[in-house]
């Protein structure tokens, strides 16, 4: 019984982060419109309550994203008590690290968080070639880009027109899953980022925009 | 040479005066101030107060404002609770620290972690105004008609990396800390205003546990 329970849990975990569904996607009849950024083209700032869980350790705080100019975003993470943990800037394809506490200043961790935020900001989206796919039930319109070795799938729900999921995959294995939920006024109030290769999860809950 | 002399004659005094915050003058008798502060602090067994925290980030057009309530009880029991715009509770109970976030409670042993130990010392000493004799900080004392201003600059390199100065604004009538401002090296800051403070009211021990 215990083994059965254990194997069920393993199956569930594996199903969440493994190959699978890409083979079942087919080319759509017509090319989708280019993707629109989740944050919109002209936003001022968004404030999120944020929890980062890495290998069982949890760091929580407030994440602010602010558009300085077109394609220039500042992203700052502070603790609830106000201590700044990191300060990133994304300008077109360039990245600047303005500040980082030593606990976060590890190249692999910083680079992963940087890539996660970059994916959400969608700064380079629209400049890359893409193909349009659909699922068997035609529930989603899926745009796939592959600028390098990583494929990115953007899932837009046909019924609502909302982008509900982004997935990074490599050789048909899911690497990172971004879930965009609880849409209000065309913006997801809840964003979760789950890494399949490393034990890293980021949860963002919108507080203010 | 004359030009250089004139330049220095204007610049040096302005630099000296710039160190004194606007509206304040240097406290002449720091020993008496410290003694009064310590005496008053010893009379306080518990504190309860609302607070408003403001985070200033130079790149943002608006400050991030959070509101909450805190309770402190001797010895070393603190509940620091944010209610708006999010729920987040830190409880320090002797050598244990509890953090409740998103309905989940995490428990930490303060002595096992250097960072938690310094958070504990900083929070407990700040609400009590007990940072006067801390050797990790260089202190400057200022006063206005209504307030004392205690400026503490960290001396240790680790702390200097993220903190330029802590300013404690202290009410002259009851020596209570009414405002704390923590300024970072790039001049971004966190400012906390305390309102509705009540001293020595009974506070149940249950406030210092979280479930």
Averaged pLDDT for residues A8-27: 57
- Chain A: residue whose CA lies nearest to B100: A60
pLDDT number for residue A5 = 43
CB contact under 8 A, B101 and A84: no
Tell me if residue B108 falls in helix, strand or coil: strand
CB contact under 8 A, B86 and A60: no
Buried b (16+ CB within 10 A) or exposed e, B140-160: bbbbeeebbbbbbebeeeebe
Whichever domain contains B72, its CATH number is 2.50.20.10
Tell me if residue B129 falls in helix, strand or coil: coil
Of A68, A82, A205, the CB nearest to B55: A82
List CB contacts (< 8 A) between A205 and chain B: 86
List CB contacts (< 8 A) between B66 and chain A: 80
B137 to B51, B120, B133, B204: CA distances (angstroms): 25, 16, 8, 34
* A1 occurs within a structural domain: no
CB contact under 8 A, B106 and A101: no
Q: How many residues does chain A have?
A: 209
Q: Tell which of A82, A83, A189, A190 to mutate to test the B interface (max B CBs under 10 Å).
A: A82
Residue A153's contacts (CB-CB under 8 Å, 6 or more residues apart) are: A22, A133, A142, A143, A144, A165, A166, A167, A169
| Element spanning A15, H or E | helix A2-16
**Which of the two residues, B102 and A200, has the higher pLDDT score?**
A200
Residue A11 has pLDDT above 70, yes or no: no
Whichever domain contains A202, its CATH number is 2.50.20
* B80 occurs within a structural domain: yes
B93 to A51, B107, B110, B124, B197: CA distances (angstroms): 24, 11, 9, 11, 21
Of A66, A83, A99, the CB nearest to B60: A66
Residue A184 has pLDDT above 80, yes or no: yes
Q: Report yes or no: B100 at the A interface, CB cutoff 8 Å.
A: no
Tell me the pTM. Answer: 0.85
Residue A7 has pLDDT above 50, yes or no: no
Write the pLDDT tens digit of every residue in A132-157.
Answer: 988 888 899 999 987 677 899 999 99
* A4 occurs within a structural domain: no
* B18 occurs within a structural domain: no
Domain containing A147: what range?
A: 25-208
* A121 occurs within a structural domain: yes
Q: Report yes or no: B108 at the A interface, CB cutoff 8 Å.
A: no
* Residues B80, B155: Cα–Cα separation, whole Å: 27
CB contact under 8 A, B53 and A82: yes
* A172 occurs within a structural domain: yes
* A14 occurs within a structural domain: no
* A17 occurs within a structural domain: no
pLDDT number for residue A8 = 43
* Residues A197, A176: Cα–Cα separation, whole Å: 8
* A8 occurs within a structural domain: no
CB contact under 8 A, A66 and B66: no
Q: Report yes or no: A180 at the B interface, CB cutoff 8 Å.
A: no
Structural domains of chain B, count: 1
Q: Among B177, B142, B181, which Cα is nearest to B164's?
A: B181
CB contact under 8 A, A58 and B66: no
Structural domains of chain A, count: 1
CB contact under 8 A, B86 and A207: yes
Buried b (16+ CB within 10 A) or exposed e, A113-134: bbebbbbbbbbebeeeebeebb
Residue B206 has pLDDT above 50, yes or no: yes
CB contact under 8 A, A83 and B59: no
* B15 occurs within a structural domain: no
- Chain A: residue whose CA lies nearest to B187: A84
Write the pLDDT tens digit of every residue in A31-89.
Answer: 777 788 888 777 778 999 999 999 888 899 999 999 998 889 999 999 999 989 999 99
* B93 occurs within a structural domain: yes
* Residues B33, B70: Cα–Cα separation, whole Å: 26
Residue A29's contacts (CB-CB under 8 Å, 6 or more residues apart) are: none
pLDDT number for residue B159 = 81
* B141 occurs within a structural domain: yes
CB contact under 8 A, B60 and A51: no
Domain containing B102: what range?
A: 23-208
* B132 occurs within a structural domain: yes
Q: Tell which of B101, B157, B166 to mutate to test the A interface (max A CBs under 10 Å).
A: B101
* Residues A132, A28: Cα–Cα separation, whole Å: 6
């Amino acid at each position: 019984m215990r083994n059965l329970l254990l194997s069920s849990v393993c199956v569930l975990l594996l199903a969440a982060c493994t190959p699978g569904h890409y083979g079942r996607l087919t080319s759509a009849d017509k090319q989708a419109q280019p993707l629109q950024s989740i944050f919109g083209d002209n936003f001022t700032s968004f404030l999120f309550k944020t929890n980062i869980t890495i290998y069982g350790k949890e760091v929580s705080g407030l994440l602010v994203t602010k558009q300085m100019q077109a394609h220039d975003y500042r992203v700052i993470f502070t603790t609830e008590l106000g201590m700044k943990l990191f300060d990133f800037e994304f300008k077109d394809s360039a990245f600047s690290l303005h500040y980082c506490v030593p606990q976060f200043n590890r190249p692999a961790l910083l680079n992963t968080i940087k890539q996660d935020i970059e994916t959400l900001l969608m700064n380079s989206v629209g400049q890359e070639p893409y193909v349009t796919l659909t699922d068997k039930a035609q529930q989603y319109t899926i745009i796939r880009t592959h600028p390098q070795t990583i494929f990115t799938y953007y899932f837009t729900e046909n019924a609502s027109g909302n982008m509900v999921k982004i997935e990074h995959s490599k050789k048909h294995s899911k690497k990172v899953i971004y879930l965009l939920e609880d849409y209000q006024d065309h913006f997801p109030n809840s964003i979760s980022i789950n890494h399949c290769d490393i034990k890293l999860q980021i949860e963002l809950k919108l507080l203010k925009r | 040479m004359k030009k250089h002399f004139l330049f220095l004659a204007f610049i040096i005094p302005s630099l000296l005066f710039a160190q004194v915050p606007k509206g304040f003058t240097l406290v002449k008798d720091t020993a008496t101030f410290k003694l009064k502060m310590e005496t008053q602090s010893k009379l306080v067994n518990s504190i309860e107060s609302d607070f408003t925290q403001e985070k200033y980030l130079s790149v943002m057009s608006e400050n991030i404002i959070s509101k909450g309530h805190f309770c402190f009880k001797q010895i070393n029991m603190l509940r620091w609770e944010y209610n708006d715009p999010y729920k987040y509770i830190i409880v320090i109970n002797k050598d244990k620290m509890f953090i409740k976030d998103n309905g989940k409670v995490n428990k930490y042993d303060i002595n096992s972690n250097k960072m938690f130990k310094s958070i504990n010392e900083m929070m407990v000493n700040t609400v009590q105004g007990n940072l006067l004799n801390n050797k990790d900080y260089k202190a400057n004392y200022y006063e206005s008609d209504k307030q004392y201003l205690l400026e503490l600059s960290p001396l240790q390199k680790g702390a200097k990396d993220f903190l330029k100065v802590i300013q404690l604004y202290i009410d002259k009538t009851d020596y209570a800390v009414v405002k704390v401002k923590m300024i970072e090296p790039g001049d971004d800051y966190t400012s906390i205003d305390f309102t509705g403070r009540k001293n020595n009211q009974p506070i149940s021990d249950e406030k210092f546990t979280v479930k």
